[in-house]
Chain A
Amino acid sequence: MTKTLRNLPGHLVLVVACLAALFPIYWTVLTSVKSRVDIFAQPPTFWASDPTWDNYAQVLADPEFVRAALVTIVVTLASTVLATFAGALAAYGLVRRGRFGGRGSFDGMLILIRALPGIVLAVPLYKIVVDLGVYDSPVALVVVYAAINLPFAVWLMTGFVQGVPYELEEAARVDGANQAGVLLRVVLPLIGPGLAATTIFVALMTWNEFLIPLVLADRSAKTLPVYVGGFVTSRVINWGGMAAAASIAIVPIALLTSLVQRNLVRGLSSGAIKD
């Protein structure tokens, strides 16, 4: 009884915070099932008495939406694998080899990618991509996304690799395993949870990336964020359609993250934070 009372303020804080977090999401979903007149009704209505599914029908029937969804899935998967692989490998090299020539310049590059606004790179990248004839190609997006997320992957994975006892690797080598074998059979299983956490973070950032596809893609490589952003123009804003597309775009990544969010906290606390 007293314990419940003591915990009351805590619960109160969390409930208020949850409401603040949920309300805009609720409002988006609500907007997606309202008619256009109701969207602008004042005073606002907090419930759709007569929900319409037109907006969803319209969005799902749009071949451009389907294409954007497929492109986003493929590009996210490919670039996440690439960034995580390159990042994990680099993290291993950095941890196990410590100081070596050229390390400073490598670190410097990672810092540059991490801290530079995307647009600074996007201006010359645009020119390169156009000149190479890979403008509007998913491949260009995969490479750029992977590079942009590389620092984060290296940073996260460094913590996990540090957690692998070096003695285990030595023991495997004594047993005659070569370096590839050590990496595959000893290191990989131990950094598994870390790889999972890194993958999810990178996938999340890739899925939501807006500026790069806005600049480097047009039609064949248009991604969902750009598609959703397309509902706003200087002449027409289709709020209902936008809300429907946004609601659909949220689902996969929210599902994925809620499935693994327990690992996310654990992964972060044993990885990045402890180093």
Chain B
Amino acid sequence: MTASLTTPAPGRVRSDAPRGGASVRARRRLSVHATYLLPAWLLVAAVVVVPLGLSVWMSLHNETMLRSGRFIGLENYTDVLTGDFWPALGITLVFSLAAIAVQVPIGLGLAMVLNRELRGTQLYRSVLLLPMLLTPVAVGLMWRLMLNADTGVINGVAGMLHLPALNWLGDRTLAVVSVVLVDAWQNIPFVMLLSLAGLQSLPDAPLEAAAVDGATGWQSFWHITLPMLTPVLGVVVMIRIIESIKLFDIIYILTQGGPGTATQNLSLLNYRVGFSFMNTGQAAALGIVICVVLIPVFWLQKKVNEQ
């Protein structure tokens, strides 16, 4: 929306701006945008500014994929807010909280162990990173095969161990658990990688001093490592919150939002409305509503960026 104000004409200012002078500040400001931010601004304009503007326009019309519509005011918004929006928002939050609760402790724990540089650490690390490299679509597919209650290997193994065969994808609660599980399997490596990088950048001195003072491993973790690692963990948590809110591929393949709407999050709902029902006006309205409910997340991200 502010693009036109801040995007300068290309090539207006070439060289580094001179210092001092009254009108210089304005030129200098242009210079930063023109010299360094121009490619980025072009991308942003093409993929965010213009589309979101168009979204607002579409959301006020009753257009579908097959026909252009007429102006209908806020009708699309009332349709969205009286439809499946609220349950989808709820399940989106559940996925997001569960992602943090599961992935951060396990990822950090693995990073701590890796950071001890045991023999073979490099091999361990290579193997542990693998899940994050796989295409989420393929991950969803193979887990769908493995989690099948009758033919899947998970229940097959459970049967061999005389454990009950759970209906992983067929039970409303377990389907949610399954999505959380698969998302965790794929993304714990990312948490681990960033935590490991954070651990390796910590100074050794405080830990060595604590060891001299006779602190136990747990004490030094709790009182020294963890506080020093907090900024890194903040970044990790932020990334995972955002990514789990955006979750689409795995759900699209694993459960299609089912059974019923038990695992239908905002992304999947928006896809359905826009592309399965071809109701583009209503899908645009839903997109704008999603923007609004995500404002706290944007704010949080801003705080993390400033840190």
Contact = CB atoms under 8 A, between A and B. Distances in A.
Interface of A: 7, 10-11, 13-14, 17-18, 20-22, 24-25, 27-28, 31, 39-40, 42-44, 82-83, 85-87, 89-90, 92-94, 97, 100-102, 105-128, 143-144, 146-148, 150, 154-155, 178-179, 204, 207-208, 210-211, 215, 224-226, 228-229, 231-232, 239, 242-243, 246, 249-250, 253-254, 257-258, 261-262, 264-265, 268-270, 272-274
Most buried by A among B47, B201, B270, B283: B47
Contacts of B194: 268, 272-273
A100 B28 contact: yes
Interface in B234-277: 235, 242, 245-246, 248-249, 252-253, 266-267, 270-271, 274-275
A14 B120 CA distance: 10
A274 to B, nearest CB: 6
Contacts of A115: 242, 245, 294, 297-298, 301
A58 to B, nearest CB: 16
12 contacts: A17-B124, A22-B130, A24-B139, A109-B44, A111-B302, A121-B51, A124-B52, A155-B305, A210-B135, A228-B141, A272-B194, A273-B201
A89 B39 contact: yes
A147 B301 contact: no
B58 A124 contact: yes
Interface residues of B, number: 104
A103 to B, nearest CB: 8
Contact of A114 (B142, B283, B301): B301
B232 interface: yes
Interface string B184-210: 010001000110111011000000000
Interface stretch (B111-119, B169-177, B218-226): B111-119
A102 B33 contact: yes
Contacts of A18: 124, 127-128
Interface string B279-302: 010011001001100100110011
A237 to B, nearest CB: 9
Nearest to A7: B118
A120 B287 contact: yes
B36 A25 contact: no
Contacts, number: 306
Given A115-B242, A250-B134, 17 more contacts: A21-B185, A25-B131, A86-B40, A89-B36, A89-B40, A93-B36, A94-B36, A115-B301, A123-B58, A124-B58, A126-B280, A229-B253, A232-B141, A249-B135, A254-B133, A258-B126, A272-B235
A265 B196 contact: yes
A211 B58 contact: no
Contacts of B44: 106, 109-110, 113, 147, 150
A106 B196 contact: no
Contact of B15 (A14, A179, A246, A250): A179
A26 to B, nearest CB: 10
A42 B151 contact: yes
B91 interface: no
Nearest to A267: B197
B242 to A, nearest CB: 5
Interface string B138-166: 11011111100011010011011000000
B6 A105 contact: yes
Given A89-B39, A120-B55, A250 B48 contact: no
Interface in B23-59: 26, 28-29, 32-33, 35-37, 39-44, 46-52, 54-55, 58
A128 B40 contact: no
Contacts of A250: 133-135, 138
B145 A239 contact: yes
Nearest to A153: B40
B136 A17 contact: no
